[in-house]
Structure 1
Amino acid sequence: MDLQRCKSWRRSRSARITTLALAAFLVAGTTPATAAPDYATAESGNPFVDGWYADPDVAVYGGQYWVYPTSSRPYAEQTYLDAFSSPDLVHWTKHPNVLTTARVSWATKAVWAPAPVERDGRYFLYFGANDIQSDAETGGIGVAVADKPEGPYSDALGKPLVDRFVNGAQPIDQDVFVDTDGQAYLYYGGWGHANVAKLNRDMTSLGRFDDGSTFKEITPANYTEGPQMVKRGGKYYLMWSQGGWTGPNYSVSYAMSDSPTGPFTEVGKVLQQDSAVATGSGHNSVVNVPGTDIWYILYHRRPLSRSDANHRQLAYDRLRFAADGTIQPVTMKVQDDFGDDNAFGWTTYGGTWSAAGGRYTTTASYGGKSLLDTNFANFTQDADVTPTGSRGDAGLVFRVTQPATGTDSYRGYYAGVSPTGRVVLGKASNSWTQLASTPMTITPGVRHHLRVEAVGSSIKVYVDDLVSPKINVTDTSFTSGANGVRVFDTGAVFDNMAVAKR
């Protein structure tokens, strides 16, 4: 099955699941989300929104998925929160400044980790502010309220809800979980400690546990910050981030319990960096597609080529559960079907590129290329390629380093299809060396599925027929690097780009 047919199959499958979810919602008397996506990953590409953001939390309101992140900037500039909404986890609308410090009298900076929840027709947004270092400072966890998911949100109390250190936990990184019995809980904590507290029905005051206490410490081993509570099948899953958020090893672990307050049994790590895809993957949230057993993990991560602590982007991948209820380790997949009509995460070098109509298009140029920030060594790379001119060629670049604008201004390999009637494979290092060429009928305006398999020194190029390679060579010049697309003396249309480890 070629990738275009796979894409159509995925969409038809999602349509069937949407129908099932709709039926489930009609039975429950609730408005469904307009899509019930069944994706392997963010198939229209990660990051799924533009800009530097971190700490995403997610809710489903009125048939829309809503994501509320931290603006990843220096602390003094973190004076606002944006939100993003989507009917299908593909097309996203930005809602800027849903909360600002101008509407919170006691907050001045470091507005972090918003946690959204709706109750009794009101929308609440919990947030950390001011990064307090002691009980003598003003700040902590606040709660804002609005009449709509997009706000504007305003401070509900005129003071923090939690304004001091309890059990050693810095009052930041809050998560709100409403259990099936209606009881709401606040999970939070930095500095290596996590607490849980009950929220009263008004959602702006704290309740007490049966023993009279307000806070219970639930710190698991290797905990740093960013707690997240999930319930599935009667089991409670406490997820958290460990490691330093500024470094590459930031990651997510989890524990399980039969109670929302524990005790929790640590299971293991569920999300961590991938040296081929991204680093610093952490501070997650989880969304369940309503009416299904489809789950996604939303998180932030740092592009491979970036080292600035605040260069973080929003991503999501599929979250799957094993038969015993444990969570399977998350794989950060690399795909882009351009269904969102953008090319976030791509960097161009020459040529004129645009994403529209679910495709990625470029005008004719001598060597214009667009790259993902990846570093794969052994992999399979797929894309649909449609040359639009009668000359030149268009195709895939891989194991690319030192990219620049220019015909052969990169180090790496290129496999392309030419309307002049050939499939070509070569390598570049500021000059071109052809490795192989074979005849094939390539017609302008006709889509061809191009696949490259690169494992060690072996490079195979497939076109349409994914069983028998058109080209099979051995070359040891380049061992790893970025993946992307390229043209030479022709325009082209690209679609269904995917890269997977071998």
Structure 2
Amino acid sequence: MRRGLILLGALAAFATGAAAQDRAPDGRAYRAQPLTTELFIADPSAHVFDGRIYVYGSHDIQGPSADDQPGKGFVMKDYLVLSMDRIGGPVTVHPTALTLSAVPWADRQLWAPDAAFKDGRYYLYFPAKDREGVFRIGVATGDRPEGPFTPEPQPILGAYSIDPSVFVDEDGAAYLYVGGIHGGQLQRWTSGRYDPAAGDTDLNQPEAASLMPKVARLSDDMLTLAEPMRDAVILNEQGQPLKGGDLDRRFFEAAWLHKYNGLYYLSYSTGDTHFIAYATATTPYGPFTYRGRVLLPVQGWTTHHSIVEVEGQWRLFYHDTQLSNRTHLRSAKVVDLHHEADGSIRTIDPFIAPPPIAP
């Protein structure tokens, strides 16, 4: 027991004011530094509300030693919100926005959240496992962007899996995107009902169409679905759905939608291969055509992001394990993102290679 307490104390001390290392273990320099060293915030979903930047994310804490069991070590129990007036400015870590114990239906694992605003109210969307071990999607409301948030007594009917994100279009319509395979359980919903015997992989069907993220329009109250969820289909250049075995391009988790010059950009994590990829469409439902990579692999097993325009410049928020070098203790970062003239996104390397050694 004493050894465990020492480890927890060491991690806490490391994450409270510790200086981040400038270089990765392989010698490459990090392109960006953590937004905060006070605690671990991952899966950053960034938004600009009333001229201020808010970052909603998973609050990583020390849990079971499970770096070799993706998902098992992520035991998050609450949400905290970061905010700043400008990129590069001082970052405020706000008090707890929502706790697991406050959610009547939830049993464990408050994973990656997102937020939205409508008619003077703020909405926090989040996944959690219920008492049967099934990931559901919940929603909580608040009067301020940083919370506190009050959860609805039941999860959103018809929504499931993980990684909720909400896109609000120019006409005010809001769309909920969800989904994650493996630990996110999306593969257990292929029949339309939860099947606990479906396993933890992408169905082991490399030649079949891959599992796709789900999308549904939210009702005007932002608390319920206005329609059943459907596949946000991702196609290859030939117009065929990406296959389950196309690990460099197929969807794994972390769907995010942004709109640029009238085009809808669906970006997502490829999971095992650690890319943030993207596809484009002319509607928020898709189908989306694969276009390329937003972000190359970061340090750490997971990768998760958001894309938002801040002060006239598009930004990519993401996370890595620079501060801890542990899979389940991650830190949020931000870098500039550029759309090219042809609508493509310039691929970002999270590292800066060291200069060549002079002869």
TM-score above 0.5: yes
Residues 110-168 of structure 1 show CA distances to partners (whole Å, capped at 9, x for unaligned) of 10111111100000000001178xxx645410000001112110112x11114665xxx
Q: Matched residues in 2 for 1:179 and 1:238: separation?
A: 14
Residues 392-434 of structure 1 show CA distances to partners (whole Å, capped at 9, x for unaligned) of xxxxxxxxxxxxxxxxxxxxxxxxxxxxxxxxxxxxxxxxxxx
| 1:195 matches 2:214 | yes
Equivalent runs, 1:3-402 vs 2, <5 Å: 45-50=32-37, 51-73=39-61, 74=63, 77-90=75-88, 91-130=90-129, 137=133, 139-156=135-152, 158-162=153-157, 171-191=161-181, 192-208=211-227, 214-220=228-234, 221=242, 222-244=250-272, 249-273=273-297, 278-280=299-301, 282-290=303-311, 292=312, 294-303=313-322, 306=325, 308-332=326-350, 378-379=354-355
Higher percent of residues as strand: 1
CA contact (8 A) 1:106 1:138 kept: no
State the SS of the aligned residue for 2:113.
strand
Gaps of 5+ in 1: 1-41, 166-170, 209-213, 335-375, 380-454, 459-473, 475-502
Paired positions, count:
275
Q: Matched residues in 2 for 1:333 and 1:139: separation?
A: 34
State the SS of the aligned residue for 2:101.
helix
Taking a change above 3 Å as real, the CA distance of residues 283 and 162 of structure 1, as seen in their structure-2 partners, is farther
Amino acid at match of 2:254: G
CA contact (8 A) 1:106 1:139 kept: no
Higher relative contact order (CA 8 A, sep 6+): 2
Partner of 1:410: none
For normalisation by structure 1, the TM-score amounts to: 0.52
CA contact (8 A) 1:143 1:160 kept: yes
CA contact (8 A) 1:228 1:239 kept: yes
Taking a change above 3 Å as real, the CA distance of residues 137 and 267 of structure 1, as seen in their structure-2 partners, is same
Taking a change above 3 Å as real, the CA distance of residues 119 and 314 of structure 1, as seen in their structure-2 partners, is same
Q: Matched residues in 1 for 2:87 and 2:108: separation?
A: 30
Amino acid at match of 2:155: P
CA contact (8 A) 1:177 1:186 kept: yes
Amino acid at match of 2:154: K
Q: Matched residues in 2 for 1:283 and 1:89: separation?
A: 19
CA contact (8 A) 2:121 2:141 kept: yes
Q: Matched residues in 1 for 2:336 and 2:329: separation?
A: 23
CA contact (8 A) 1:68 1:114 kept: yes
For the aligned residue pairs, the C-alpha RMSD in angstroms reads 2.3
Taking a change above 3 Å as real, the CA distance of residues 304 and 280 of structure 1, as seen in their structure-2 partners, is farther
Displacement over 6 Å in runs of 4+: none
Residues 303-330 of structure 1 show CA distances to partners (whole Å, capped at 9, x for unaligned) of 3982x32132111111101101111101
Residues 321-380 of structure 1 show CA distances to partners (whole Å, capped at 9, x for unaligned) of 11011111013266xxxxxxxxxxxxxxxxxxxxxxxxxxxxxxxxxxxxxxxxx5x42x
Q: Matched residues in 2 for 1:173 and 1:204: separation?
A: 16
Q: Matched residues in 2 for 1:123 and 1:145: separation?
A: 6
Amino acid at match of 1:145: T
CA contact (8 A) 1:317 1:333 kept: no
Taking a change above 3 Å as real, the CA distance of residues 281 and 328 of structure 1, as seen in their structure-2 partners, is farther
CA contact (8 A) 2:135 2:162 kept: no
Instruction: Calculate percent identity across the aligned residue pairs.
Output: 33
* Larger CA Rg, structure 1 vs 2: 1
Q: CA deviation at 1:71?
A: 1.3
Q: Matched residues in 2 for 1:303 and 1:313: separation?
A: 7
Q: Matched residues in 2 for 1:162 and 1:253: separation?
A: 29
